[in-house]
Amino acid sequence: MFLVSDTSISRESRILGLMTEDPALSSLLAVIHFEWTIRRAIIALGSSPNVDIRKKLEGCHGDQKYKQLWREEVSPRVNKRLPEIVRNWDGLKKSFKLRHKLVHGVGSCGKSDYACERVKWAIEAAADVREFCSLNNVDLDSRLPVRRKLCSR
């Protein structure tokens, strides 16, 4: 669906373009886009070496896990919690809840307005994170900075 070379803005445009045609798919892709954004932000702004953060991210899924990992890795450096950066944290949580229902087949997205609202919230959350990264001199659409483990001799 997306290419590595796609920018955040182009992904968001494609997601929004799908809203009228397929609101459920659009809502899934919006949360996927947020996850891509937050994972890159945690790697870029985190304290540990990239390899260690990537290992922690292997078991990290869902808004609460991302919030916890942000608190561990990023908050000590930037003095901000994730819900302070994502302006509509409650909306993002609802977006994740719909994603969970759709992925696990325990519900549907109901009316298209319901799904469209959650698409909007997830995209806005990704934009909030991207803007915060930009303020910290990190472009999530570019190569991420590398922090390596220190070698002891």
Is residue 90 classed exposed, middle or buried when 0-12, 13-18 and 19+ CB atoms within 10 A define those classes?
Answer: exposed
pLDDT attached to residue 106? 73
pLDDT attached to residue 123? 98
pLDDT attached to residue 31? 97
Half-sphere exposure of 66 (CA within 13 A, CB side): 26
pTM: 0.92
The span from the first CA to the last CA of the chain, in angstroms, equals: 46
Instruction: Tell me the mean pLDDT per 10 residues along the chain, length 153.
Output: 81 93 94 96 96 94 96 96 98 95 77 89 98 97 83 58
User: What 3 state SS string does 16-85 have?
Assistant: HHHCCCCHHHHHHHHHHHHHHHHHHHHHHHCCCCHHHHHHHHCCCCCHHHHHHHHHHHCHHHHCCCHHHH
pLDDT attached to residue 2? 72
pLDDT attached to residue 150? 64
pLDDT attached to residue 104? 85
pLDDT attached to residue 36? 95
